[in-house]
Every structure is written in structure tokens, then in C-alpha cells.
A and B are shown apart, each in its own frame.
Chain A
Amino acid sequence: KAGVTQTPRYLIKTRGQQVTLSCSPISGHRSVSWYQQTPGQGLQFLFEYFSETQRNKGNFPGRFSGRQFSNSRSEMNVSTLELGDSALYLCASSLGPSPGGKNIQYFGAGTRLSVL
């Protein structure tokens, strides 16, 4: 069974540009979560999608947005890039919501974004 696939693996952009990252979850998984990881802040939750609906959202500005398609693939978009957006962006998939939050998340390899 294929794991979580994130594309592209590396991106270099300049300030003010926008970027779109893609995530294909494990087959059969319907929930996708996105995280930003930086050395100083650790893993910060961006948002979670299930059945094409955003279920949860972290404390990020509106420049960060996402969506999920009917095949459970997800994209996240960052507009008007800032230097501070340089980070590793991780996608995690799970089967979906479960009582007590017992859904196990599996991570993709990540997309490393550098903003110059």
C-alpha cells in the first residue's frame, strides 16, 4: 500500500509569490491534516479536511488556505509569501474522525519551502 505522497519535495520561491502544495493520502484514508514545522516552533497545525470539508483550523493568517477533493487528495495554498513562511510543510492522513481522537495519523515526506 502506498504511503502519503507529497509533491513537490522542494520549492524555492520569492517574497510575494504564491505556492500550492499537494498531498495524496493513503488509499482509503479520508482525512488529511497539514502542519508547518520550523526549528523554533515545532509542528504547528494548519488545518484538517475530511470529506472535502475543513473540520479544524489552526492559528494561521488567511494567506494559508486549503481544500480537499472528492478523491481525498488535498492541496494547500500560501499566497503573498513571506520570509517567515520558509518551513517544512507536512501532510498527514488518517481514516477519519473517531471517538476520543483515536485516528492515527501517518505523515508524508514533506515539502520543504524556501522563501527568498
Chain B
Amino acid sequence: QKEVEQNSGPLSVPEGAIASLNCTYSDRGSQSFFWYRQYSGKSPELIMFIYSNGDKEDGRFTAQLNKASQYVSLLIRDSQPSDSATYLCAVSGGGTYKYIFGTGTRLKVLA
């Protein structure tokens, strides 16, 4: 079982729709969760972090964390073609305190 799992996609959504990206993790001791966006040929860019159960909103982005079920999700409201990228989930604060990344979900927003 991979430590951090994401569906590789591509996830295709029409412009203006809500994109929902999911991530599960195996280390129950994990405490910190991050979402990075990576455009093709570029480096990852942090868009959200969440530490507590529940929802955290920032503009069009909402991160949701459920530690009991060991999943974290990212919702993108009013998706735009410029949101088309790979979204990486990262988990930290477990036994080794390393960042563990998922392989990413490729999102395509169709104009």
C-alpha cells in the first residue's frame, strides 16, 4: 500500500464546475497536510495547507480533512482553464516527519 494515494486522472471538468480531488494516507500519526499545484514543466507551488479536521477555505479553494478516515480532499469552485495542472497531495508529521507526496492528480478544465 502506498503511503499517500491519489487517483492519477485525468479528471476532466467543464469550466465553472467544482473539481474534487482526493487523497488518502496510510500513516495514522500524520498531522499536517498540503496541496501543491504543478503546471507542466514547472515546480510545485503550495496552494493550501490544513492541520485540523474539517474544512479550510481560501478563495475558490477548500481543503477538507478527515483524520478518522485518513483522507484529505481539495475542492476547486468555479474551475477555470488556468486551473488545469497536476495537484499533489503531501502529508507530514508522521513517524519520520518527512513530507510524503502522492503521485498527483491531473486536472483538465474544459473551456
Contacts and interface: CB of A to CB of B under 8 A. Distances in A.
Interface in B64-111: 88, 90, 92-94, 96-104
Contacts, number: 62
A103 B99 CA distance: 10
B25 interface: no
B71 to A, nearest CB: 18
B60 interface: no
B61 interface: no
B93 A100 contact: yes
A56 B31 contact: no
B101 A105 contact: no
Contacts of A78: none
Given A42-B101, A42-B103, A107-B44, A101 B32 contact: yes
Contact of A45 (B32, B43, B98, B103): B98
B97 A108 contact: no
B99 A105 contact: yes
Interface in A89-116: 90, 92, 97, 100-110
Interface in B12-55: 30-32, 34, 36, 42-46, 49, 51
Given A56-B96, A109-B43, A110-B43, A104 B49 contact: yes
Contacts of A58: 98
Given A90-B43, A107-B44, A107-B45, A48 B98 contact: yes
B100 to A, nearest CB: 7
Given A102-B51, A105-B90, A107-B45, 7 more contacts: A42-B102, A43-B88, A45-B101, A100-B31, A100-B51, A101-B32, A101-B99
29 contacts: A33-B99, A42-B88, A42-B101, A42-B102, A42-B103, A42-B104, A43-B44, A43-B101, A45-B99, A45-B100, A56-B97, A97-B97, A100-B92, A101-B92, A101-B94, A101-B99, A102-B31, A102-B49, A102-B93, A103-B92, A104-B34, A104-B49, A105-B99, A106-B46, A107-B43, A107-B44, A107-B45, A108-B43, A110-B43
